[in-house]
Structure 1
């Protein structure tokens, strides 16, 4: 029989004064003087419907009764001297994402809950830190450099952990077999419902989660809405609830922690080479190869550095991987600074594909396809993933849409291009104009081939032509009764031997009384 799935555990980290903490840390990093103890209480304001309202406060202002949403004029009337600054929600969101990157050292499954909370899925991670309590203590201690106010809560569901972090910080939710007394004592505000619904519940005498849990769900849904019952079920674990992590879990993950931070980039790359060897062994056991490798360096002060490379073919050669990583490292405009040292290095392989052993040629040496792929990988790592591009054919009859250029590392080796029959000219030109360039054409009959045309102030006399090749417009993309114009293409050669690809846009008389002509491409 299959083993039952382990009980999931979640850790919520609540930052009640995140905007103020961000501002203080960034002022300190820029060398600006910190606020003194006798400074006026700080509030951050934003304009809402033409009026200035408080968006965030410091702990001192909150203690004196100022709360988000209050009119700034009312706050000034309550406290005579205030330090007022504009609110920057985008900077707060980026700061929260930075905190999420920092918490990636505890678990790869980290979700942001803007504007002021993180949720971590710590299932199967607690033994690395000596238990759940030790993991929570380590997380709070490491986040102390980012915020003076961190509240935590652990639960069997994300909603339970969030509720405990907001309303009962530091209290660990008991296991299901031990009961959920702590959760049931929380106020109904822990459900994070609308203010009108919360007020209605309190007026009805339903003030705690336990009061709601004792009532049948059908009357609650009928009176207060189904959303209330759904939130209650997720909070108490009656309904399945999971987080959506910022980054998808990688296929393979390898990490190395250091008792003492390493302060040299060379030593960090040597440690990364060991992780690359472990990744190669794991990929070899699976018969797979990696297409995307990402290394993250965790600095002791909480900052992280990322180093990522991609390959056009699956690979599991650690030496080849390290060459690509060194190429990428040398190409960084902002080099990796060890600072006070790295205390952890992680290597992940988000994308893997089947990889069979390479077939060698009879005279020895690897096939040229792998050598070409290695060249693409080195150039893409040095110049950027979008610098080296490859044509990708598309299933369409429209000439200008028949191929796209995409980063070469994203695509497998292309299929051979269809070559013309021996002795026959190519059916498509090497160069296409975007958009096609208009020309003036003289033809013997309106719907016949061109006899002479004028392009860029020069006359061209047609001595040979081939066509027309009729290409209809994609009628399924146009409104009913309004199909696009038909194109009649000609391959022509002028008196000086130059070859052009031109077309008449629209059928004479049936689609347009005066069809226009364009040159679309040039043959070699």
Structure 2
């Protein structure tokens, strides 16, 4: 059992990370110990990152305890870089976190400063001067490299920077040389934000938190109008919308809505979010109130203008798309599906269920097989997801139907039969091992119609002879209306 992390009081007592717990108790008998929980630590870091979204949409993780915030173009909204740094550190400190933060033009330089110079803001071009007096452990290059540099008499980052790059590379590798260069402000490694940057963002900050449904809905409607105005300038419409609600206690709730067609009207956005909020299993809880509401369009498309005065189909498609969007907002987009035909003769694979919002146009243009007039349907209206086995006491071989079968503990006597329709499996996908099916349309004495098949073929026997099924299996695959 080793020390995983510790606070400043434990450090002053002479403890360090990696020290055996027994040794730590010998040094500090009054030590208070908690079991390390890396999963909970990661969850907490994710929660803090969600809270930091109120300052910038570009937030990246630096495991196990760090965060990167790209505040380019955002600092002036909070009174400048110094004020923003104080807001972030002060808010986290009040919640019981020990915070170390710094601002620099490169992410590696800022991270290096946080380890030994918290609260420092480095101007562009002064990175090398700022990190030079720091110990080499601040680079976070690993214990082996840090020990090797110290054995070579290089104790600070400035000492290492005075050496030629090829000397450092030959001894410690190119990755460490790149890390050192970034810390000195010579280039930068791009951060990887947790969330992709939305195409459009509008938000409303409140000096006094809001908590009533009426005020929240009113502000969400105002944000929808602002978002539509911003998108309209570039001729775009929203396909995915995200509403984020930032509570004063740091909790963040994001509600997402997808649309089948680009949305260009504020009232449509407002209606979709009303449907979504009303259908939430976990209602939106304002707690002590929201101090920020943000509406973003994370996916947009160019709006194609259509002739709407003469073409009635355009209006019908718009109404159908709007209806699908409203139903999807209430019960979920994955539950509203359309069916597309597939180029296969295997019955259970002939239809593909896809999300209606994203494939409505394809469904409207799908070419389904035409039904022959005055002929019964070749396929049942209800097809089981998985064929259900039936018991057949005897059948006519080699190609005949059963005379009687038992399904779900009910025995059915066959009155009328059509078939067989022989369907072989796709040998090019199954190495020729798939059995051959013979399908029959069957009506029993009660007038119920079934679609059953024989899985496999009987051995060669004299025609019209009744034999036991043996290894051949029978299934019911669907029901006719």
TM bin, normalised by shorter chain, reads 0.7 to 0.9
Provide closer, same or farther for how the CA distance between residues 484 and 145 of structure 1 changes in structure 2, counting only shifts above 3 A.
farther
Provide closer, same or farther for how the CA distance between residues 60 and 365 of structure 1 changes in structure 2, counting only shifts above 3 A.
same
1:232 partner SS: helix
Provide closer, same or farther for how the CA distance between residues 220 and 506 of structure 1 changes in structure 2, counting only shifts above 3 A.
farther
Note if contact 1:465-1:493 (Cα within 8 Å) is conserved in structure 2: yes
1:381-400, aligned counterparts within 5 Å? 381-394=329-342, 397-400=345-348
1:434 partner SS: strand
- Is 1:500 aligned to 2:450, yes or no? yes
2:103 partner SS: strand
Q: Cα offset for 1:155?
A: 2.3
Q: Which residue of 1 aligns with 2:76?
A: 127
- Aligned-residue Cα RMSD (Å) equals 3.1
Q: Cα offset for 1:209?
A: 2.7
- Is 1:445 aligned to 2:397, yes or no? yes
Cα distance in 2, alignment partners of residues 232 and 331 from structure 1: 52
Query: Aligned to 1:430, which of 381, 384, 408?
Result: 381
Q: Which residue of 2 aligns with 1:107?
A: 56
TM-score (norm 2): 0.86
- Is 1:519 aligned to 2:469, yes or no? no
Q: Cα offset for 1:159?
A: 1.7
Cα distance in 2, alignment partners of residues 110 and 235 from structure 1: 20
Note if contact 1:449-1:468 (Cα within 8 Å) is conserved in structure 2: no
The range that moved more, 308-317 or 234-243, is 234-243
Query: Aligned to 2:419, which of 459, 466, 483?
Result: 466
Note if contact 1:485-1:505 (Cα within 8 Å) is conserved in structure 2: no
Note if contact 2:109-2:131 (Cα within 8 Å) is conserved in structure 1: yes
Q: Cα offset for 1:104?
A: 0.7
Q: Cα offset for 1:118?
A: 0.9
Cα distance in 1, alignment partners of residues 288 and 308 from structure 2: 47
Provide closer, same or farther for how the CA distance between residues 132 and 516 of structure 1 changes in structure 2, counting only shifts above 3 A.
same
TM-score (norm 1): 0.79
Q: Which residue of 2 aligns with 1:90?
A: 39
Note if contact 1:173-1:180 (Cα within 8 Å) is conserved in structure 2: no
- Is 1:150 aligned to 2:99, yes or no? yes
Query: Aligned to 1:175, which of 124, 130, 134?
Result: 124
Cα distance in 2, alignment partners of residues 112 and 164 from structure 1: 17
Provide closer, same or farther for how the CA distance between residues 279 and 396 of structure 1 changes in structure 2, counting only shifts above 3 A.
farther
Query: Aligned to 1:68, which of 5, 8, 17?
Result: 17
CA deviation string 1:107-129 (max 9, x = no partner): 10001222211101112222323
Gaps of 5+ in 2: 461-469
Q: Cα offset for 1:143?
A: 2.5
- Is 1:200 aligned to 2:160, yes or no? no
Paired residues in the alignment total 466
Cα distance in 2, alignment partners of residues 469 and 254 from structure 1: 61
Cα distance in 2, alignment partners of residues 424 and 217 from structure 1: 83
Provide closer, same or farther for how the CA distance between residues 404 and 89 of structure 1 changes in structure 2, counting only shifts above 3 A.
farther
Cα distance in 2, alignment partners of residues 372 and 293 from structure 1: 20
Note if contact 1:473-1:486 (Cα within 8 Å) is conserved in structure 2: no
Provide closer, same or farther for how the CA distance between residues 390 and 197 of structure 1 changes in structure 2, counting only shifts above 3 A.
same
Q: Cα offset for 1:249?
A: 0.5
CA deviation string 1:19-64 (max 9, x = no partner): xxxxxxxxxxxxxxxxxxxxxxxxxxxxxxxxx2222323322221
Deviation above 6 Å: which 4+ runs of structure 1? 363-366
2:15 partner SS: coil
Q: Cα offset for 1:346?
A: 1.0
Cα distance in 2, alignment partners of residues 474 and 120 from structure 1: 55
2:121 partner SS: coil
- Is 1:275 aligned to 2:212, yes or no? no
The range that moved more, 239-248 or 415-424, is 415-424
